Structure 1
């Protein structure tokens, strides 16, 4: 895994723990020579992780729509900054540039990006690892809800296992680096889907 797409909030959140987690993730990525790909912003957790990756000597590539660039929220101190026409082009380019995906705490935009890439994995459209950095228990409710979705028969255990989660960046990155894709037919086969984990 040479590059990692990180989805995270354009706000810092209400807990200092989220920024601490962003800096820890940046350090773990730079130590592993993993380049950052993200939404190109200079504000919130987006700015925190990008600034820290750059400060530590790593590479950071931002992808931002022109409309957000016009609002002066684009980060001009990155290794590379791609300015694209809209959100669809942004997400497609971020996916193309990345060997894996990780969601930190964030709002609706972060969740939308996470669930889209999670869906693409479930459908076999990509075979890249997906992680959820559960900083300060931020995603406890979501993790519990996904288990509820499994229990209610709308998601198979093998499909749910495509989304790895941990509270510690080093541990999560290690799991993502050793991720082995599950063959698409096994994700859909009711006889095997519950056994592939």
Structure 2
């Protein structure tokens, strides 16, 4: 993997373990020569990961819609900044620029990005790995909810299993590198892809 889109919070939260792991993630991305693709902010967990990559000489691509483009939000030292018209366009560019997706702690925006990219995978619109970094149990409830969806018949087990999960950065990156995509659903009209 040459690049990973990291979906995460524009707030730092209040858990020092999460903050420390966000910093360590940036350092590990540089060690593994992986470009960070993210939402372009200098604030919150987003800024912590970006700063760690930039401070170690790594490459960072920020993608942000014009309406969020203020000096207080956009990181001033990005390797590349791409501005879009809409939030959806932002996700499409992040998809195009990355070889996989990692979800680390965040709020509604992070959940929106996770569920949209997971749905695209379920529909066969992409075959890139999606990983959840479950730092300090942050995503325990989300993982349990997904299991409930499977148990109640609203989510196929194979689609749930296509999301890789780990509590350790190195373990998650390895699982993402080893990821074997699901076959394109038979009911999907391939001409539409």
TM-score, length basis structure 2: 0.94
Q: Deviations over 1:17-76 (max 9, x none)?
A: 111111121122111111000000010000000000001111000001111113630111
Partner Cα distance (1:32, 1:71) in 2: 30
Whether the 8 Å CA contact 1:122–1:187 is kept in 2: the answer is: no
Partner Cα distance (2:52, 2:70) in 1: 24
Partner Cα distance (1:71, 1:148) in 2: 42
- 1:55-70 matches, cutoff 5 A: 55-70=55-70
- 2:191 maps to which residue? none
Partner Cα distance (1:58, 1:120) in 2: 29
Whether the 8 Å CA contact 2:123–2:185 is kept in 1: the answer is: no
- 2:97 maps to which residue? 97
Q: Does 1:42 align with 2:42?
A: yes
Q: CA RMSD in A?
A: 1.5
Could you say what secondary structure the match of 1:70 adopts? coil
Partner Cα distance (2:187, 2:13) in 1: 35
Could you say what secondary structure the match of 2:164 adopts? strand
- 1:167 maps to which residue? 167
Partner Cα distance (1:176, 1:125) in 2: 18
Partner Cα distance (2:157, 2:164) in 1: 12
- 2:30 maps to which residue? 30
Whether the 8 Å CA contact 1:133–1:168 is kept in 2: the answer is: yes
Q: Does 1:109 align with 2:87?
A: no
Partner Cα distance (1:173, 1:24) in 2: 13
Q: Which moved more, 1:166-175 or 1:25-34?
A: 25-34
Partner Cα distance (2:152, 2:52) in 1: 41
* Length, aligned pairs only: 188
Q: Deviations over 1:116-162 (max 9, x none)?
A: 00000000000000000101100000101111110111111101011
TM-score, length basis structure 1: 0.92
Kindly report structure 1 stretches of 4+ aligned residues shifted beyond 2 Å: 184-188
